[in-house]
Amino acid sequence: MLKPFIEITGLTKRFPAQKGGEQLTVFENANFSIKKGEFVCIIGHSGCGKSTIMNILAGLDTPTEGGIIMGGKEISGPSLDRGVVFQNYSLLPWLSALKNVIFGVSARYPDWSRSKVIEHSQKYLEMVGLTGGAEHRKPAQLSGGMRQRVSIARAFAIRPKLLLLDEPFGALDALTRGTIQDELTRIWSGSEQTVFMITHDVDEAILLSDRILLMTNGPHARVAESVVVDIPRPRDRAEIIHKPAYYKIRNHLVEFLARRSKQLSGDRDHGGSPPITVRPGIDDADDKERRPENRPKLVSVAS
Amino acid sequence: MNGKSLSENAKALLLSICLLVALLGTWELSTPAVKSAGELTEYELLTGGGGQQARVPPPSQVFNKAYDELSRPFYDNGPNDKGIGIQLAYSLYRVLTGFFLAALIAIPIGFLIGMSPVAYKALDPFIQVLRPISPLAWMPLALFIIQDSQASAIFVIFICSIWPMLINTAFGVANVRKDFVNVAKTHELGPLKTALLVILPAAAPTILTGMRISIGIAWLVIVAAEMLVGGTGIGYYVWNEWNNLDLTSVIFSILMIGLVGMMLDTAFAYVQRAVKYQE
């Protein structure tokens, strides 16, 4: 069997004890892997340590135990092999949009000529639709959606082996989010880029990812399930909601987040086993003609 | 706002002019010209035109003086009689030399203590003790060690402009947003590139604020320093004219000190605007 591109083994993060308390274990024994070219989302409630996992992957944080192997090498410290898009854009406010991308490109390819760097940067800004003068504006003069586009362009332009997206659309309104999700899928499908993304949005996860990792609530959180999204690509936001597999997966995710993430939390007897693979949408490949009345009912998240 | 009413700036300008006219008018009227019966001797002229009391000269006299001085700013009639331009140039030379030497030391050290909490804690006691010392208190020591009055004046400027720059640089560097540092890290920038490409531009507005405070203090201090060391410079000029009992020149030079100080501040304000960014 081929070794997975990224292997996360026994990853644990603990914070030292405060005065009079015991040490805080955010998550422990996280074991999962990501294949090359795969788009993986991770979902869990606040405080389960998703962002910490992401920061460890980015090399900005260190695990208490366990480690990550990427392409046969252990991750230690940040690297241009792993591009990061932060929720708050993290563009340098004194540089124009174009210069922000150039900043990344010239760090990645120090021996490229200036004109090649500019050309490459402009190409990626064009991909996210920043042209006609907008690329010369400073981040403060751009809307939130535009800023996140620049941030995505910068991350893609350095062509990292792994792209890390930390709730990239969290601060955007629903309409903008939809547009940029489409753009992201379009760019991703032409790039064979491996992506690991944090999100709170179940629909976003189904639309974008090949696999969704579900985390139980913290403290002592763990990666409990790996849900395969069996919906063929290319996916379209308008059509995907007519596919029965969509609702099966969606219901599974919502049910997990609403109920089981809490029930499973604190369960420390799993012995560090890898997450259970679940395929709620698998039996759906051949019944495209299913009638609307046969659609499974939506499960209420309220209560 | 309708077309007839004046803009805010125009109103302010009008008010400024009114205030100036009122001020100069009061001043002029409260210092009537001394009337004399006949021809004055040179002695009478020197002692205030034969009047009972020396008076503050009226603005008209100051303007005449200003016109006279500014129409030939760079004449040089020996040690005690140089044009205002020459005196100001000496002062500016000392201020700028001392200031930029201070910047050369203060900004790198500010960077160091801004980035390293250990360095900050180690140097903080020294800074706290040295900072409140009046720069002029250093003068005797400087004169003794350097043995050159010109260089001592520059040293005094150096020592007074170092602190605001040092403290502001350290503060600006220590408060650079962690996100920016993370961007540098994820782009594998080395320490030098991180400092130059990310931390310096991020902290630049705060550093410039420190530089602007410093140049202001330096310009305040140079007048006092030059009164002490003598020889040349606007501070020496003021004191020399006082010794000559030429109050008109004293008032004229006070105005020039104010104007040059304003120009220095405006220049730094301009640079400050250039490095400012909006988050």
Euclidean distance between the first and final Cα of chain B, in Å?
32
Chain A residues with beta carbon closer than 8 angstroms to that of B187: 80, 103-104, 107-108, 158
- Contact by Cβ (8 Å): B91, B222: yes
Is there a domain that residue B112 lies in? yes
Is there a domain that residue B7 lies in? no
- Contact by Cβ (8 Å): B202, B250: no
Chain B residues with beta carbon closer than 8 angstroms to that of A107: 187-189
- Contact by Cβ (8 Å): A221, A208: no
**Pairwise CA distance, residues A193 & B7, whole Å:** 58
Contact A92 B201 (CB under 8 A): yes
Chain A residues with beta carbon closer than 8 angstroms to that of B198: 92
**Pairwise CA distance, residues B87 & B74, whole Å:** 9
Largest separation between any pair of C-alpha atoms in chain A: 62
With 50 as the cut, is the pLDDT of residue A147 above it?
yes
With 90 as the cut, is the pLDDT of residue B3 above it?
no
CATH of the domain at B148: 1.10.3720.10
- pLDDT, tens digit (0-9, with 9 covering 90-100), for B114-164: 999 999 999 999 999 999 999 999 999 999 999 999 999 999 999 999 999
Is there a domain that residue B55 lies in? no
Is there a domain that residue B4 lies in? no
Number of Cβ within 10 Å of residue A269's Cβ equals 5
Is there a domain that residue B46 lies in? no
With 90 as the cut, is the pLDDT of residue B184 above it?
yes
Which residue in A has a C-alpha nearest to residue B199's C-alpha? A92
Question: Which residue in B53, B44, B42, B66 sits closest to B250, CA to CA?
Answer: B66
What is the token pair recorded at A20?
């009079």
The vertex-B67 CA angle with B61 and B69, nearest 5°, equals 100
**Pairwise CA distance, residues A199 & A211, whole Å:** 13
- Contact by Cβ (8 Å): B221, B162: no
What is the token pair recorded at B176?
């650079």
pTM: 0.83
Chain B residues with beta carbon closer than 8 angstroms to that of A94: 201-202, 204, 275, 277
Torsion sign, CA atoms A104, A105, A106, A110: positive
B contact test, residue of A55, A90, A100, A148 with most B CBs within 10 A = A90
Residue B84's pLDDT is 92
> Domain range holding B209?
84-275
Is there a domain that residue B54 lies in? no
Secondary structure letter of residue B195 according to DSSP = I
Phi, psi of A25 (to 5 degrees): -100, 110
Residue A139's pLDDT is 93
* ipTM given for this complex: 0.82
CB-CB: which of A103, A107, A138 is closest to B188? Answer: A107
A167, amino acid identity: E
Domain limits of chain A? 1-75+162-171+194-303, 82-159
- Contact by Cβ (8 Å): A149, A183: yes
- Contact by Cβ (8 Å): A177, A5: no
CA dist list (Å): A285 to A185, A233, A242, A245, A248: 22, 12, 13, 8, 12
Highest mean pLDDT among A45-59, A132-146, B204-218 belongs to: B204-218
How many domains does the structure of chain B reveal? 1
Is there a domain that residue B53 lies in? no
Contact B188 A140 (CB under 8 A): no
Is there a domain that residue B138 lies in? yes
With 70 as the cut, is the pLDDT of residue A285 above it?
no
CATH number 3.40.50.300 is the correct assignment for the domain at A1-75+162-171+194-303: yes
Pairing label, strands A65-70, A24-34? unpaired
- pLDDT, tens digit (0-9, with 9 covering 90-100), for B219-278: 999 999 999 998 899 999 999 999 988 899 999 999 999 999 999 999 999 999 999 998
